[in-house]
Structure 1
Amino acid sequence: MERRPTPPSQPAQTHAVPQGARTATVTVDERGMVSGWSDGARLLLGYPPAEILGQQAARLLADPDRDAWREAAAGPRWSGTAALRHRDGHRLDLDVLVHRRPSGERPGGTEWLVVSPVAGPAAAAAGEALGEWAFQQSPCVAAVFDEGLRLARASVATQRTLSLAEGMMRGLRLTDVVPYEGSAEAEAGMRRVLDGAGPEEISLHLDPADPERTWHAWLMPLKDADGRVRAVALTAHADASQQLVRRRMLLLSEAGVRIGTGSDAQRTAQELAEVAVPAFADVCAVDLLDAPRHGAPPPDGVALRRAAVRSAPDGPPLPRPSGEVLRCPPWSPPGRCLAEGHGRVYPAGDEVVGRWAREDPQAASWVRESGAHSLLAVPLRAGDLTFGAALFGRSRRTEPFDADDLWLAEQLAARTATSMQGAVRTQRQHTTTMTLQRSLLPQTLPEQAALDIATRYLPSVSQAGVGGDWFDVIPLSGTRVALVVGDVVGHGMRAAATMGRVRTAVRTLADVDLPPDELLSHLDDLVVHLSAEEAGADNSADTAGGVGTTCLYGVYDPVTRRLCAARAGHPPPAVVTAGSVRFLDVPAGPPLGLGGLPFESYETELPEGSLIALYTNGLLEPREHDIDDALDTMFAALARPARNLDSVCDRVLTSMLTHRPDDDIALLVARTRALHADRVTTWELPFDLAAVAEARKLATEQLAAWHLEEAAFITELIVSEMVTNAFRYGRPPVRLRLIHDDHTLTCEVFDSSNTAPHMRRAHTYDEGGRGLLLVGQLTQRWGTRHAGTGKTVWAEQYLAEVG
């Protein structure tokens, strides 16, 4: 917008501005009222103080609704072009600088200081000449102030530091541009320089984004061709010591985040090198001991392996570590720091470094190839454990390492060693837990004739440690076999120990020959008690006590070819028959440890050669697929024909896992067999003691048909005792059954009474009480299993040991 012409009667105001009125200064209080009005403001806008003081500052604006004024009021400082209205009505577009500062009249209040230069063409021309002198003589951040202490020129670095354009600052005093601590003292120093006192060194704050940073500045007189001081040049740089301290603290902070992210010592060494180069050094090599060492190394030196080497991006490429053994003599930089337990700085031309490079070129090759002129070696120590040594070199930087750099390197090394110590502790705990876990799992699969079985166990690789997954195969009476898979909640030593207790309880309950649903009910009670015990002893967050444990328990009978199973919060078993895969409809019971909730059994007949797969939920939790995709993949792997069950296990794991699992995985695959009628014989006996002899005769004849005559004598004694007990203490009907598989001969006697026999020690003159003792001595196993009505007393002989 065009300005209204100045009346001819006032030409002097355009070219001659009084020395004290070259800055227009306006103060506005929190209410938006004008509380201060300078002579420069009067000259610039035409208002005498009496007409404007106490008035709304908005009346000075040509465009009071402009968003820029709201921006100016919201922040601590604002600069820009303002459209103002002169007293005579014409518009003025002026560059203004607005500061928000504490109020001098109201404690705790604020006010706005608005400044703008008042200058004529002569001042602008003089400023150009002064600026040229300054930029010819000032090598760094620079600004030129004229004889009135007004800024005439500012270097690009100064504009960048102050975040202001030169045009915005020209004509303003230093106290207007940076109203921070030291500005007034700086102006006093400028006045002394103009008066001939010579250069001065001062301190002040320049950066509005970092008001705590102290800048060192020099005030230099600028002279004309006649030698008269015409201006003052200010050159400044940030306090180098503060910047160095800040960089070191930032480096230590970064080291705390980036070093020790894994459990591998070599990876931790590489992280140290990545943090140190190029922020601290131009090259870094980290050499590690094969195992952490207590105390000083032997006097003949120590063997190290290079774990990491790194140079600056623009430095010479260095060969990657190949795992070679480096024999470091005790006088070498790494050997000396390991022996002394602290670091050392080696300046350029140090004799030790030169000798090391000559006598051990393999270990010191990185020093020669990088051209390092200053070397620093520190041990990687945590407590009384030493893990190796870190060496740093400088080649591009001209400044050598000093004592402060040594302190920083030792801090980095200490953090690295602490991370390695934690990794060693974690690895030791992981190994201990793995050892416990594997010792609690079945070491070998028992011999039995009902199933062909293959198993796999994959421990977790997560930082939480291995979990409590387990499997078991338990031979039962009557050639039956129990299959168990379970998952104890949690990870680590506690989960493994709980798994061992639960697995032992399952074996104990299985020996009682409980049905699957009853076994899980008893197991649920046990987990509740375990949880209560642990909660009383240690009420910590990681005390699980087994609550949430899942379990699948199934019993397969090769005589009837029937599978009976129950589950507690566990995935159902998969069955493959005639090439088709399906889940068995085993009712989903609650996880163990909740207490009081029922479990249900499911029974089905399986054709001979059917495949049964039991697993833990870790198998169905791959990171790349959802559960439906995982199930499809598992079904496809199970359905494909395989030469043996080990191939089935490997195929399932290979197809489902593309990574080491985050959770433990237990997998049990079984193929059913059947005992045909020619291997099983059953007789129903009349309820009469006279039938005992008939039972012995039937058994002897059957053994002859099986070509087991050598077992006839013992079998007759067993049948005689068990059938006699059934007649004396049981109820009809009474059935005798003989089962012959490849390894055992089983004799079973059933009656409808629920009274179980108990072995006791007969005294000298007792007439009875020796029958079961005799059975126990003549057989390998004997026991009783209960059904819904009645019981079965059984005894097993191992055929390989008969005779």
Structure 2
Amino acid sequence: MGTDVDAFLGQLARHLRPEVNKLATLLLQRLNGELPELWEDPDIAALTLEETAQHVTALLDLLETDPGASAPEAPPVALEIARLYARRGIPVSRLLRAYRLGHLSLLEQIQAEAPRLTGDWHMIHLASMRLVTIGFAYVDRSSEEVVAAYQEERDHLLQRRLALTNRASKRIGTTLDVTRTAEELTEVCTEDFADLVTVDLFDAVLDETGTGSPESPTQRRVAQRSVLDGCPESLLHTGETHSYPDGSEPLRALAVGRPVLHRTARAGTPTWMAPSESHGRVLRDLGLHSVLLVPLHARGDTLGLVQFARHRTAAPFDDDDLLLAREIVSGAAVSIDNARRYTHERSTALTLQRTLLPRHTVKQAAVETASRYLPAGSGAGVGGDWYDVIPLSGARVALVVGDVVGHGLHAAATMGRLRTAVRAFADIDLMPDELLTHLDDVVIRMQREESRDGDETSATCLYAIYDPVSRLCSLASAGHLPPTVVPPSTPGEAARTTGVVELPEVPIGPPLGLGGLPFETAEFELREGSLLVLHTDGLIAGRRRDVDLGLATMHDVLASVPESLEETCDRLLTALLPGRPADDVALLVARTRALDPDHVATMDLPSDPAAVSGARGFASDVLTAWGLEELSFTTELVVSELVTNAIRYGKSPVQLRLVLQSTLTCEVSDASSTAPHLRRARIFDEGGRGLLLVAQLSERWGARHGREGKVIWAEQALPAGSGAAAEGT
């Protein structure tokens, strides 16, 4: 009986073979209503009819040749469709359902043809039972092979996605630059994920001052990349601003903070993608079929929107792609936010630092100066380097350079506090070592105040005082490199070519903030026209250059310098910093001057009240010689009060000195360290009005203490238009 059934099934197969295409069409009509993806995806639709016909042919071949043989392998086109399902993200269960429905439909059609060949219903029944068994065996084997192909493709896709995620983590966020980070996102994702990637950021995110309105809907296209030259998919160019239409999917994605998958094959090209009909035709011609809209969200803020589009890639985006894009954009958003915060902090710190640094040097007769400040490259951040030029009493000047350890807003703010403290201490004419001792105390107090934050405050500082009368330079260092000294060229030389560059022996004390360790003041004499070069370590040291090499290069440049200090600064920066500096750089170059001896008059006084009269006469004679008779009466009063105080309350020796520069300075020195002070005299007091009178008659007055006593000084403005005033400036 089995042989008769097999023969009948072979006869039935030969009868149906001319109807293979018709049977395949009938099967597809049955599947059409339950499996719409067979027709919605053009690639799957193109292969489905061929696959169905091959399945029918394979089953008929089995029935015709040997129904008892094992089921044949699934046709190659079936495996290709399985891979397409995997790439499209269609669940494999949908594919297996198609096999079950197809098997059932094919059995029904074959059974419907059996009565046309025989009226033996017993034979028909046995053939149907055998047909079901053969069909199940074929479907089972085909399903196993199809599922294996599907899973293999899914594993391959997973590996590619993991590789993409790994590349994105390594290549996105390599710099602290917002635009570059956005460009890295587009570069990574157009390699094998999307055909077009655009990154739009809110204008408020790109506003370095942080004053932009976060509610503003305006966005700026900061980066875009396409697999096609010229990026024809986008009407916008990089840097242009735009706003999404009200009610559009991008606005909804931004509002709810969730990514959106949009397939144009179903809904057509929306107006937010193609605002004009001509551009819509361009997108349709390119074959744009799916878009991902992923908001850039970091630390509770929405920064903008990333769009991924596919047109050349046949597989549309699926839910897995949406999750992958969300993961990549999430990491990129943190990097962009880091860059945004860094840029904002750097801009704020740089603005603060430039505000705190001197913009214009006060005009004075002691030195001629030129300066430069260069912030570090974008990777390091703004530091706490500073310089200053502070006019002092007696025609002297203080030259300062310092460096706060660290970078960022905290370092810039600390620099401002230290610079203010230096100016305050300089105003009371402290010696360099005493000034650094007080500044050390300031840093220690700052450390105590900020100990909760965990940031250790430390700094270096070099403080120098130059006296154009004696041509003495007094300086002390708190962990800072000493200045470089370049003596003037010999008379008759057209340019300084002697090659003599000196590094004075200066005791380098500990950095500020250690406490309890002494500072020392060094003194040396400078010839008129000497150069003093003060700088921070960023000028001579770097990641690939040690300090000795930097000093040697600087000395080579200074061995032959032009007369212009500005050009000297430029040459130093060009030779030592050909690129962006790795650290902040502060540079201060000063050329010393010597005060004309004819503008200084000195008189030694005995410790006798009778000497006051002689001091007044001496002052009157000097002012007459200087052509400043207009100031004689006021100056005599000032001299009288200062000399009287020195003789009455001070110690010998007592000396009167008159200095003419941009102002007229009267100085009286004695060996006492007692500090003078103003007080309000009562009506019947015989004394106590001297310093008050001096303060009223002069523009400025003060006291400075030295190793062997003190100096009380008072400055008066020169008469406008006088020859002495012009000569003094």
Change (3 A) 1:663 1:785: same
Equivalent residue for 1:554, pick from 449, 461, 464: 464
Map 1:251-650 onto structure 2 (within 5 A). 251-292=164-205, 302=218, 304-311=220-227, 321-326=237-242, 328-330=244-246, 334=250, 337-338=253-254, 341-349=257-265, 353=269, 355=271, 359-360=275-276, 367=283, 370-382=286-298, 385-535=301-451, 537-538=452-453, 540=454, 543-546=455-458, 549-577=459-487, 578=489, 579=496, 580-650=500-570
CA distance in 2, matches of 1:568, 1:449: 27
Q: Is the 8 A contact 1:309 1:320 kept in 2?
A: no
Could you tell me which residue of structure 2 aligns to residue 226 of structure 1?
Answer: none
Helix, strand or coil: the match of 1:489? strand
**5+ long unaligned stretches in structure 2:** 1-70, 81-131, 206-211, 490-495, 723-729
Q: Is the 8 A contact 1:696 1:716 kept in 2?
A: yes
**Whose helix proportion is higher, 1 or 2?**
2
Q: Is the 8 A contact 2:290 2:316 kept in 1?
A: yes
CA distance in 2, matches of 1:295, 1:429: 18
AA aligned to 1:759 is L
CA distance in 2, matches of 1:692, 1:734: 11
CA distance in 2, matches of 1:469, 1:197: 83
Map 1:74-93 onto structure 2 (within 5 A). none
CA distance in 1, matches of 2:547, 2:649: 55
Q: Is the 8 A contact 1:288 1:307 kept in 2?
A: no
Q: Is the 8 A contact 1:297 1:338 kept in 2?
A: no
AA aligned to 1:255 is A
Deviation at 1:551, TM superposition (A): 1.2
CA distance in 1, matches of 2:198, 2:443: 53
Could you tell me which residue of structure 1 aligns to residue 678 of structure 2?
Answer: 759
Deviation at 1:598, TM superposition (A): 2.7
Map 1:167-182 onto structure 2 (within 5 A). none
Deviation at 1:354, TM superposition (A): 6.0
Mean CA deviation greater in 456-465 or 613-622: 456-465
CA distance in 2, matches of 1:321, 1:277: 17
Deviation at 1:303, TM superposition (A): 5.1
Deviation at 1:520, TM superposition (A): 2.3
Deviation at 1:468, TM superposition (A): 1.6
Change (3 A) 1:459 1:369: farther
Helix, strand or coil: the match of 1:198? helix
AA aligned to 1:702 is V
CA distance in 2, matches of 1:383, 1:594: 38
Map 1:9-28 onto structure 2 (within 5 A). none
AA aligned to 1:218 is E
Could you tell me which residue of structure 1 aligns to residue 571 of structure 2?
Answer: 651
Map 1:44-193 onto structure 2 (within 5 A). none
**5+ long unaligned stretches in structure 1:** 1-132, 143-192, 204-215, 220-233
Equivalent residue for 1:218, pick from 115, 124, 145: 145
Equivalent residue for 1:731, pick from 631, 651, 660: 651
Once the two structures are superposed, what CA deviation does each residue of 1:229-260 show, in whole Å capped at 9, x if it has no partner? xxxxx975635445545544553444333322
CA distance in 2, matches of 1:701, 1:373: 99
AA aligned to 1:527 is V
Change (3 A) 1:383 1:364: farther
CA distance in 2, matches of 1:380, 1:136: 46
AA aligned to 1:507 is R
Helix, strand or coil: the match of 1:727? helix
Mean CA deviation greater in 473-482 or 375-384: 375-384
Mean CA deviation greater in 730-739 or 413-422: 413-422
TM-score after normalising by structure 2: 0.72
Change (3 A) 1:800 1:254: farther
Helix, strand or coil: the match of 2:527? coil
CA distance in 1, matches of 2:280, 2:504: 67
Deviation at 1:401, TM superposition (A): 1.9
Could you tell me which residue of structure 1 aligns to residue 138 of structure 2?
Answer: 199
CA distance in 2, matches of 1:235, 1:387: 43
- Among all aligned residue pairs of Structure 1 and Structure 2, give the percentage whose two residues are the same amino acid: 50
Change (3 A) 1:355 1:727: closer
Q: Is the 8 A contact 1:468 1:491 kept in 2?
A: yes
CA distance in 1, matches of 2:554, 2:666: 41
Change (3 A) 1:202 1:556: farther
Q: Is the 8 A contact 1:735 1:749 kept in 2?
A: yes
Change (3 A) 1:312 1:573: same
AA aligned to 1:696 is R
CA distance in 1, matches of 2:677, 2:278: 79
Change (3 A) 1:511 1:351: same
Change (3 A) 1:791 1:589: same
Could you tell me which residue of structure 2 aligns to residue 17 of structure 1?
Answer: none
Deviation at 1:495, TM superposition (A): 2.3
AA aligned to 2:670 is D
Helix, strand or coil: the match of 1:715? helix
Change (3 A) 1:621 1:360: farther
Note if 1:702 corresponds to 2:631: no
Equivalent residue for 1:787, pick from 684, 693, 706: 706
Change (3 A) 1:371 1:795: same
Structure with the larger RCO, 1 or 2 (CA within 8 Å, 6+ apart): 2
Helix, strand or coil: the match of 1:509? helix
Change (3 A) 1:745 1:327: same
Equivalent residue for 1:685, pick from 605, 630, 652: 605
Deviation at 1:277, TM superposition (A): 1.7
Once the two structures are superposed, what CA deviation does each residue of 1:713-767 show, in whole Å capped at 9, x if it has no partner? 21011000011111211222221110001x1111011222232322211111111
Change (3 A) 1:368 1:473: farther
AA aligned to 1:560 is S
CA distance in 2, matches of 1:352, 1:340: 23
Could you tell me which residue of structure 2 aligns to residue 206 of structure 1?
Answer: none
Could you tell me which residue of structure 2 aligns to residue 796 of structure 1?
Answer: 715
Helix, strand or coil: the match of 1:278? helix
Change (3 A) 1:357 1:599: closer
Once the two structures are superposed, what CA deviation does each residue of 1:255-306 show, in whole Å capped at 9, x if it has no partner? 33332232222212212212222332122222333333877766xxx45335
Q: Is the 8 A contact 1:375 1:391 kept in 2?
A: yes
Could you tell me which residue of structure 1 aligns to residue 726 of structure 2?
Answer: none
Mean CA deviation greater in 788-797 or 322-331: 322-331
CA distance in 1, matches of 2:341, 2:590: 39
Deviation at 1:322, TM superposition (A): 4.5
Count of residues in Structure 1 that have an aligned counterpart in Structure 2: 585
AA aligned to 1:572 is P
Helix, strand or coil: the match of 1:238? helix
CA distance in 1, matches of 2:72, 2:512: 85
Could you tell me which residue of structure 1 aligns to residue 63 of structure 2?
Answer: none
CA distance in 2, matches of 1:671, 1:276: 58
Deviation at 1:570, TM superposition (A): 0.9
Task: Tell me the C-alpha RMSD between the 2 structures.
Answer: 3.6
Could you tell me which residue of structure 1 aligns to residue 110 of structure 2?
Answer: none
Helix, strand or coil: the match of 1:291? helix
CA distance in 2, matches of 1:524, 1:642: 38
